[in-house]
Amino acid sequence: MPRPTSKTVFVLIPGASQSPAHYGYLLHLLLTHGHPVYSAILPSTGSNKNVTVQENAEYVREKMILPILDIEEHDVILIMHSYSGVPGSAAALGLGEKERVAAGGDGGDIVTALCGKLPPHISPNKESGILTCEDPAPPLYNDVTPKEFQDAIVMSTLCPSYASWHSPCPRASWNSEDFKDRVAFVRTLRDIGIRLRFKIW
């Protein structure tokens, strides 16, 4: 049986303390509506090894984006949630269609969607090399029910490395010419972790 016709792949980069499992329902909805998906945990998630933003960006570019663009030869819609907008946008820099064609690539394309900003409820613990959230349920999962489901999600949340938020930010792609008018921001109205008034760009 021949391989299906190429479709754009939704590449989801989880937030700083989340894994692909936290986005399982979204990934399920995309898949069941015929959209291919890919996701992977960031190297800084669950690590006290001082993984920097740049290292996260390199991982996203080399392990999540380029294999789909260059090996599988599919276009990409990059979905970034919260912190992952920083390394994800940096990873996409130079990978727009015009830039890829100019560099001798096939013109495979990326559209980026940023969802959120850095949360204020994170506490740095430099000595241990991680960032912590005393109780992730209220700011991150307040609308998740029943309580048993909320507890399971909280228990599967991992602390990100300190350096992932306290290292220089690489240049982002969202304001580059190749992504002009091609970036979408989703601002949630009832998010209590980061109030709407802080989500103004």
Asked if 65 contacts 95 with a C-beta cutoff of 8 angstroms, the reply is yes
pTM of the model: 0.80
**Element at 12 (helix H, strand E):** strand 9-13
Q: Which two tokens stand for residue 4?
A: 């299906």
**CA separation for the pair 69, 90 (Å, rounded):** 16
Name the least confident of 35-44, 61-70, 125-134, 188-197.
188-197
| Contact predicate 110/182, CB 8 Å | no
Structure-token pair, residue 57: 């960006």
* 13 φ/ψ angles, rounded to the nearest 5 degrees: -100, 115
| Architecture of the domain whose range is 9-198 | 3-Layer(aba) Sandwich (3.40)
Token pair of 53, please?
């933003």
Dist. CA 1–CA 146, nearest whole Å: 43
44 confidence band (pLDDT: 50, 70, 90): very high
